[in-house]
Amino acid sequence: MPLAEQNLTLDAGPFQVRVRSSDPSFLDTLGFFYRGCVRHDGPHFVDFDIRIKRPRGLRRWLQPQVLFEIDALRPFEPQPAENAFPTYEWGLNWCIATSAHRYLMLHAGSVAFGDAGMILPGHPGSGKSTLSAALTLRGGRLLSDEFGLVRPESLELLAMPRGIPLKNTSIEAILEFDSAAPLGPTYPKTRKGRVRHLRPDALSVAQQQRTATPRWLVFPRYLAGATENLAPLDKSEAFRQLAFNCFNYKLLGETAFRAVAQIVRQTQCFTFTYSRLDRAVVQLMDLAQATGPAAHGSPR
């Protein structure tokens, strides 16, 4: 007999997300990652109304699959049932990317030290997720991983602490960096390879309504065997690279141009090549501490 569907509401930073599912494994994993922000008595109106469900018929028993629904629409093909949690995570990313255009959306990790934000933009494979994860394991406040959300009118970085998806060899890199890192289940066969998520720390979740001011703009590049090198980046090149890593730059037009220009103007801009995660984190933590007194106020 099928289990009754649960109706939950998640606080996801600036978003309220309704999640409906009767899949016990998915619900357990959701609770592991977001136990501090899951409610059974959420608001009547939400930003996203998501359902994770199994197809009916024989498919329910033979090679089980899972469906992602948003407002009763199914934007994706069914996925293997064991991938319900990553399907939810990537589906929520899609919901935000296609609708939350009141924000400037950067393809970047972002971590805060006090009220000062470090933005880590990069393409897949650059190491931004691994760096974001390691920095939070050393006391940084996780703002976000896939999206750096910015209010264009104020340039505030918003917090949306969610599970950080570590892919393939990044999983071992984080476990070598911190053997006690709170990782969720392994998903060996996803569209992005082998994936495990790092659970956001309780303090980051508790402070997800606390914004940060962009202070450092660091473009990471993982290169096996490389010596760590944090090098100043010309502001015009920083503008070009940050605009390139903005999901909705063309859509927002002049608003995006002005916001990106101001972010670059008020931040210290760097490229960062690294191979050893432990040394990389020390170098970035040193950068944050070196400008510590100013990090708790507005950049000059």
The answer to whether 55 and 65 have CB atoms below 8 angstroms apart is yes
Q: What is the mean pLDDT of residues 242-246?
A: 96
* From 58-62, 108-112, 296-300, the region with the lowest mean pLDDT: 296-300
Distance CA 10, CA 200 (A): 14
Predicted local confidence at residue 61, as pLDDT: 65
The whole-chain average pLDDT of the chain stands at 91
228 — pLDDT class (breaks 50, 70, 90): very high
pLDDT, tens digit (0-9, with 9 covering 90-100), for 33-54: 998 888 887 677 899 999 999 8
What residues contact residue 61 under an 8 Å CB cut-off, 6+ apart? Answer: none
Would you say residue 285 has pLDDT above 90? Answer: yes
Q: At what angle do helices 277-290 and 169-177 cross, to 10 degrees?
A: 60
Predicted local confidence at residue 1, as pLDDT: 44
Would you say residue 242 has pLDDT above 60? Answer: yes
Predicted local confidence at residue 99, as pLDDT: 95
Distance CA 271, CA 217 (A): 8
What's 246's DSSP letter? B
Would you say residue 12 has pLDDT above 50? Answer: yes
What count of residues does the chain have?
Answer: 300
pLDDT, tens digit (0-9, with 9 covering 90-100), for 140-194: 999 999 889 999 999 999 999 999 999 999 999 999 999 999 999 999 988 888 9
Q: What is the mean pLDDT of residues 224-237?
A: 95
Is the pTM higher than 0.85? The answer reads yes
Amino acid at the residue 203: L
Would you say residue 60 has pLDDT above 80? Answer: no
The answer to whether 208 and 111 have CB atoms below 8 angstroms apart is no
